[in-house]
Structure 1
Amino acid sequence: KVSKDTPKEQQKALDSEAVALFQTAIAKSSPQQKIWQIPWVLMAYKTMARMDFANGQYQDALAKLKKAEEVYQQDVELQYLLGAIYKKTGDRKSAKEHLLKAQELAPKNEDIKKELKGL
């Protein structure tokens, strides 16, 4: 069977399938009791948030990253993503707060320094 969907429609279907799988995996996890699950739960939330961010769904991205933050706050990429998205939405105070947390965790990171400019 040949799909008549456009590449964009095909990608959207794949993204939806990936999100559903991530959500199922997260629902079955308990990282507070099983610390070995923390890395992949974080990865799932961050991946879904990046997809939302790329699609301009900033509030959805923030909601997922806040869930990830409940699991583990000391993740540089998590704090960076939160800061970048808050900056994009115009919430400069929250952007600066999260980017400074990211900078504490990775003081030499140039991307963080660039995002902090102008805040």
Structure 2
Amino acid sequence: MMKKLLISSVIVAAKFIVGNAQAKYIDPVTESKLVKVCEAIKSDRLIKVHVAVKNSDISLKQITNGLLCNGAHPVNFALANNAEKTAEFLARKSRGNHQQLLTNL
């Protein structure tokens, strides 16, 4: 169940990352890479996050501003999974109001 929710969140996020509202299909390889990014965020290991982001071929800014993991912003997803180091890192990299995101820490 958790994996299905994670995959559906990644599909929604991929539409935002692609930047094209007409995107109806995400290839399974990209989907798998984005699932690995969410899993890395959950792990609270920054090196794992860096490797997953690099392997996804999507910039960190795009991920922090467009990816949804289980329907949540990556910072909130990290916090929900007690991944505070990852949450702080992603909040600093986010284009939005990172101070507001950091107040959740």
Return the TM-score normalized by structure 1: 0.37
Q: Which has the larger radius of gyration?
A: 1
Return the TM-score normalized by structure 2: 0.41
Q: Which has the higher helix share?
A: 1
**Whose RCO is larger (CA < 8 A, sep 6+)?**
2
